[in-house]
Structure 1
Amino acid sequence: MPTYAFVTLDVFTDRPFGGNPLAVFTDARGMTDAQMQSLAAEMNLSETTFVLPPSDPANTARVRIFHRTGEMPFAGHPSIGTGYVLATLGHEGALSLEMIAGLVKVDIDRDGAGAPTGAVIAAPQALTTSADIPIDEVAACAGIGPGDVVTATHTPVLATVGVPFILAEVTGQALSRAEPDVAAFRKAEGGRPDLAGRYSLLLYARDGQDIRARMFAPLSGTYEDPATGSANATLAALLVSLSGVDQAAFTISQGVEMGRPSILKATARRTPDGVRATVGGGCAPMFRGEVTL
């Protein structure tokens, strides 16, 4: 029976026990889809990644991302964490990871001695927005009142740079007391077949370029996420798209209410094919192990 090695690490932090945990199977050749899904469920983390040879030898690797109940076309902290792990294994320079949503470019951050410390990724798609979401629906899902939703910049909206999220600005007090209502999520998701069974809600409160955020996706097994790179990259792109500026950078804190503080650095800029975003942060290695299937 084959044995597969894995590592775990915390992403969007510079120290252990913060940020968002991730498991990476560094050589998943020979695994079936069912085995990948079972391993992701067993790890019980927001996501687990599986590294495979690239379809195009010009790229670094093909990466599949699974959460507890399904596969993701793209996600931020798995892309950053997998890039970091590959860099620790000797991959030099910028990396290119093949994912369902497209090619993800990864630039590795290194310390003075050249050791990897984290990474920055470019989201695989330009921003698209597809629907405004009723305030009452968002408020019910988040366990807050409709008056807690801030609409000066935008109403709640469905947007994506590779994987869709519902983005809603709320007051700082509402952000602190928000708690997902699973029954409300089920009702809302039932009315949105376009979300393919993944109703993911990012709430944020903004103070200039500093943002506090929380992300809830309880129907996908993530009651609350400590750090959501893809959602915050989408948010950065949305804010630039609604502003008069050509580019902007944001510092985003997430996971504080969970006891897993995370810091995400997100940027967005206007390009000929739309608004493009990046997101980055530090990584802290945790465990190594293997499993025999």
Structure 2
Amino acid sequence: MKRRYVTLDVFTTRRHAGNPLAVVLQSEGLDTEAMQAIAREFNLSETVFVSAPEHPGHRASVRIFTPGSELPFAGHPTVGTAVWLALTDHAAGTPAEMLVLEEKIGAVSCAVEVTGSHAGHAVFTLPRLPERSGEVAAAEILAAALGVDSDDIGYGSHLPGVFTAGVPYTCVPLGTREAVARARPDLGRWDDAMQGGAAFVYSRETSETGHHFHARMFAPNLGLVEDPATGSAAAAFAGAVMAYEKPEDGDHRFVIEQGYEMGRPSQIALEMSVRNGALVSARIGGSAVVVSEGVLL
């Protein structure tokens, strides 16, 4: 059967920036192998497959694939899919300010807003709060795997750590934006340094005023040498912010810029609510714009 799809650029307000996403809108009848093959064909950071929800109060069920594997949860697919469904509902005259997506990790609640005929904004609540996950490699091992100097690693109170909010990341603070730009994954040293997973490198020095962190994400074992904007990494990074920034009780908002070295500037909003010194909830937000529509034959 023919299956409709759309592509969107996510964590941006303009086309040809942010992180591209493919959304297959009629995925009924596709098994896991077929979905993985289609994701390899699109060869984007992630491809989403939308089907009817299991729970009648939810908007859709989604499965998320990189070119190499399925993910239980990811940020830019959640934002992009929520925006597309909001646009669809708005055009049908049934707009909603909140929708729930069923992902492998569980139900994900998204606040959505249509901002144009092909654009919107979504903020979703993390289905799992970040936590530490395993031991982190020594600075010398991390530096070698990232192609930076050992002296580049760490600044202020920030130290490397492994955090997860559904997908684990080794979060590596670098002292300067220049060091972040200089990072290059060494595949031969990657598994030992990153536990076979992904790395999120960041600095407090930013490219644009009003932003709080400059970041890059590398995941060669997932079929992604580098990703332009990574919501699941920002979700894990909330754990690093709590551990090292120690924000006071209250509501906080940080803007993470990513993808600048790739020529695809992206802005991810990380919102955190802290009570009695503990993170009680967190949200990831961003804009998305439709780029193309088509049919899989």
Q: TM-score, normalised by structure 1?
A: 0.90
* Alpha carbons 1:123, 1:230 under 8 Å: kept: no
* Alpha carbons 1:227, 1:262 under 8 Å: kept: yes
**Number of the residue aligned with 1:18:** 17
Correspondence 1:109 to 2:152: no
Structure 1 residues 109 and 238, CA gap change in structure 2 (3 angstroms): farther
Stretch of structure 1 that moved more, 178-187 or 56-65 = 178-187
Correspondence 1:164 to 2:163: no
Query: Where in structure 2 are the equivalents of 1:89-128 lying within 5 Å?
Result: 89-90=88-89, 92-111=96-115, 116-128=119-131
**Number of the residue aligned with 2:92:** none
> Percentage identity across aligned positions?
37
Query: Where in structure 2 are the equivalents of 1:133-144 lying within 5 Å?
Result: 133=136, 134-144=138-148
Structure 1 residues 94 and 177, CA gap change in structure 2 (3 angstroms): same
State the Cα deviation string for residues 11-37 of structure 1 (Å, max 9, x = none): 011111000000001121111111100
* d(CA) in 1 for partners of 2:243, 2:192: 30
Letter matched to residue 200 of structure 1:
A
3-state SS, counterpart of residue 84 of structure 2: helix
Question: What RMSD, in angstroms, separates the aligned Cα atoms of the two structures?
Answer: 2.0
Query: Where in structure 2 are the equivalents of 1:51-200 lying within 5 Å?
Result: 51-90=50-89, 92-111=96-115, 116-133=119-136, 134-172=138-176, 173-188=178-193, 192=195, 199-200=197-198
3-state SS, counterpart of residue 286 of structure 1: strand
3-state SS, counterpart of residue 167 of structure 1: strand
* d(CA) in 2 for partners of 1:137, 1:269: 34
Query: How many equivalent residue pairs?
Result: 283
* d(CA) in 1 for partners of 2:98, 2:6: 21
**Number of the residue aligned with 1:217:** 219
| Runs of 4+ in structure 1 over 6 Å off | none
Stretch of structure 1 that moved more, 239-248 or 173-182 = 239-248
Stretch of structure 1 that moved more, 272-281 or 127-136 = 272-281
* Alpha carbons 2:97, 2:113 under 8 Å: kept: no
What is the deviation of 1:244? 4.2
What is the deviation of 1:152? 3.0
* Alpha carbons 2:86, 2:114 under 8 Å: kept: no
Stretch of structure 1 that moved more, 179-188 or 157-166 = 179-188
* d(CA) in 2 for partners of 1:155, 1:6: 42
* d(CA) in 2 for partners of 1:25, 1:62: 12
What is the deviation of 1:178? 0.7
What is the deviation of 1:125? 0.2
2:286 corresponds, among 263, 281, 284, to 281
3-state SS, counterpart of residue 76 of structure 2: helix
State the Cα deviation string for residues 222-276 of structure 1 (Å, max 9, x = none): 1111001111122134313440412321111111100111111111123698543
